[in-house]
Chain A
Amino acid sequence: MGAFVGMNNLKSTNKTVATSLTIGGVIIAVMMIFGILMLLAQGGVIDVPDAMFYQFLTIHGTGMIGAAALAAAGVMWYFLNQYVELSRSIFNWFLGLVIIGVILVVIGVFSFEFAGAWTFLYPLPTISASAWGTIGALLYLFGMLILGTGFLLLYMDTGRAIIKKYGSLGKGLGWDVISGKKKEEDAPPKAVVASTMVTIVNTTAILAGAAVLIMNIINVINPSFTFDPMLAKNLTYAFGHIFANAIIYMAVIVVYELLPKYTNRKWVVNRVFLIAWTMSTAFTLVIYTHHMLMDFAMPKWMLIMGQALSYANGLPVLVVTAYGALMIVHKSGIKWDMGSGLAFLSMFGWTVGVVPAIVDATIVVNHVMHNTKWVPGHFHMYMGLGAVVMLFSFMYYLAKVDSTVKESKIDRIALWCYALAMISISVQFLVSGALSTPRRWAIHYPGWMTPAVFGAIAGVFLVIATTIFIIHFVRYMKNRGKLGSDKYEQKTA
């Protein structure tokens, strides 16, 4: 096993990774507050000017996706680095570029009032009816471009390293095992398979995103340069859908790596596992078209494909992962702690969160539910209760193996508090959706307000729980390396 790659620089490696998780975690907590403010405004509790509501919406969407992706990339990097040789200086560049990008975005949104949502759908950045000016739009668009460049660098490095060790990205996905040329025992580790998948889909997403961002920039600078809006929408959602989706595929690596260690059992990579990941790779690339089910000008076959494959999109990976997780935990006498508890919770959240998505991906239902709060209901559940929980799971895991900081009763209470609060927020969205409350509306009719207020109250508990998680991680950062890392453990064991 190539488990000792990068051994010598372990301490600083852990520090770099931990930095990405701290930044990501803190931004997520802050963005939750903007989420609460939005719900309070929609619930009629506080008075937020409409323009400001959309600034909140923009920063909340961008911040959550960006921060979760940043932290998830840290998780992926940490584990992938144990199997292939990654460049630490590129990870530092990645961190730096993402931070610069975030700063530009924040300035664009708050100082120059850009409020075109994180989907920056052409031609909205230019045609804002004077809600914001050229500078705000440019700051936002350039910020996103720089952020994307950071991620592009990172995936180039992971791709390069995987190809170097395994020969090609196809082999990183284990295609030679699927085709029977290689034995299942020699299949690439799960962390490598997942990283290969993410490298493929996110490089594609970022290239599409870069093209459409520059196009928007050209249009903002000189509006007489116009582009085909339908093509722009395709590229925008190819970027947004894939990039947001990939977060959970990076974060899930912690589940793969953690549960076998806790249960002292092997979680083998078999052919079914590999096929599932290859299928999800392909589906993730093409199903963004479910964002265009209302666009009658789209070719019909693309929409049908978008619908059909959306049912199946995450399912292969979800099924093999949830099934594998259950099998490995079942009767294993696992010792539950924060790391494993959160990992298990995330599997629950992911599984449950997919159900509303499947319902909504049906064209018939979509014509009714499209653009209602049903949609945020789905993705808050699977992001907030799935992907983000995996990140916290990793934080506790790292703290455990790399320091002597102990988990306390407060942490355990926070776990339950987090789970209940996030479920409440998601259900609140789903109920609103069922009431036909439109999404992205600053103002609600009185009949729509109750769920929003309920969600805001739950949000407060969620912020408290998240803060407790982060405090634990910061305490770890201060006591880092006291115990030695898990690789150190493996070596001495």
Chain B
Amino acid sequence: MRKPLYIGALLYLILIIPPIRSYMESIMIIHMLIQLPLLMVVGWFLGKYIVYKAPKVFHAINENGVPGMILIVAITMYWMLPRTLDEALTLPQYEVFKFISLPLVGLLLADSWAKIRDVGQIFIYLNYLSMFALMGWLYLDSPIQLCNNYLITQQKTLGWGFIFITASMIVYVLQYVFIDRRRIEE
């Protein structure tokens, strides 16, 4: 049961290595849509281990998964705002915060996701779906440069990235609701 711990820690170290870190942060879409999610993946692996080690603690503070989920939504929404990426690049304390808060998201997700049960999961999923669509629209449509560190073209690429994610999520929903999985399982 130590495997997730090693995987998480290793991935974390790789992401911290300065050349890798600064390369990822030099391109907006990689920064937002690859580095940030990978940091959550780190937390998710670490979380597997930690939750397994201390289930009582998580039961006490996050019994039905809702507190964890609220924190997750707050942190991820914060990191979707254009200016936060900027600040992470210019102010070291924000960069540190980024490397702590996003693994925390992953950790909480590992604990909360199953706990919020199907209705909660669908609700969160659909909320992110419309949020991503909106972010795509925002980045594509904005006539001004939103970040000091990234040019407008980078911004547009990121917008398409969000649209792509949204489209994939819609396809996933469609197959989820229109394909009868009962038969496949049988």
Contact = CB atoms under 8 A, between A and B. Distances in A.
* A is bound by B: yes
Interface in B111-142: 118-119, 122-123, 126-127, 129-131, 133-134, 137-138, 141-142
Nearest to A157: B119
B183 interface: yes
A215 B119 CA distance: 26
A235 to B, nearest CB: 9
Contacts of B143: 226
A326 interface: no
Interface in B128-185: 129-131, 133-134, 137-138, 141-144, 177-183
Interface in A390-419: none
B141 to A, nearest CB: 5
A225 interface: yes
A214 to B, nearest CB: 5
B137 A156 contact: no
B137 A231 contact: yes
Contacts of A262: none
Nearest to B175: A168
A167 B183 contact: yes
A211 B134 contact: yes
Nearest to B170: A207
Interface size class of chain A, counting residues whose CB lies under 8 Å from the partner chain: 20 to 34
A170 B178 contact: yes
Nearest to B166: A211
A169 B123 CA distance: 17
Contact of B177 (A87, A152, A168): A168
A228 B182 contact: no
Contacts of B122: 156, 159-160
A152 B126 contact: yes
Contact of A215 (B134, B144, B180, B182): B134
- The SS class assigned to the B binding surface is helix
Interface residues of B, number: 24
Interface in A154-209: 156-157, 159-160, 163, 167-171, 200, 203, 207-208
A169 to B, nearest CB: 4
B183 A225 contact: no
A210 B119 CA distance: 18
A52 interface: no
Contacts of A305: none
A156 B126 contact: yes
A218 interface: yes
A231 B134 CA distance: 11
Contact of A227 (B127, B130, B141, B181): B141
B177 A211 contact: no
Nearest to A89: B119
B119 A160 contact: yes
Nearest to A212: B134
A386 B130 CA distance: 33
Q: Which of B118, B134, B144 has the most CB of A within 10 A?
A: B134
Nearest to A226: B143
A160 B142 contact: no
Given A152-B126, A207-B129, A210-B130, A169 B137 contact: no
A224 B143 CA distance: 9
Contacts of A159: 122, 177
Contacts of A200: 177
Nearest to A196: B177
A225 B50 CA distance: 42
A163 B177 contact: yes
A211 B119 contact: no
A18 B53 CA distance: 48
Contacts of B178: 168-170
A357 interface: no
B141 A224 contact: no
A168 B180 contact: yes
Contacts of B177: 159, 163, 168-170, 200
Contacts of A225: 138, 142
Given A167-B183, A168-B179, A168-B180, A203 B126 contact: yes
B143 to A, nearest CB: 6
A156 B130 CA distance: 15
B141 A214 contact: no
B134 A153 contact: no
A203 B130 CA distance: 11
Contacts of A207: 126, 129-130, 133
Contacts of A170: 177-178, 180
B141 A171 contact: no
B133 A211 contact: yes
B114 to A, nearest CB: 16
Contacts of A169: 177-178
Given A167-B180, A167-B182, A171-B180, A152 B123 contact: yes
Nearest to A175: B178
Contacts of A163: 177
Given A156-B123, A157-B119, A211-B130, A227 B180 contact: no
Interface of A: 87, 90, 152-153, 156-157, 159-160, 163, 167-171, 200, 203, 207-208, 210-211, 214-215, 218, 224-228, 231
Given A167-B180, A200-B177, 6 more contacts: A156-B123, A168-B181, A171-B180, A207-B126, A207-B129, A215-B137
22 contacts: A87-B119, A90-B119, A152-B126, A153-B123, A160-B118, A163-B177, A167-B182, A168-B181, A169-B178, A170-B177, A200-B177, A207-B129, A207-B130, A210-B130, A214-B130, A214-B134, A215-B138, A224-B144, A226-B142, A226-B143, A227-B138, A228-B141
Interface of B: 118-119, 122-123, 126-127, 129-131, 133-134, 137-138, 141-144, 177-183
Question: 7 nearest interchain CB pairs?
Answer: A167-B180, A168-B180, A169-B177, A210-B130, A211-B130, A170-B178, A207-B130
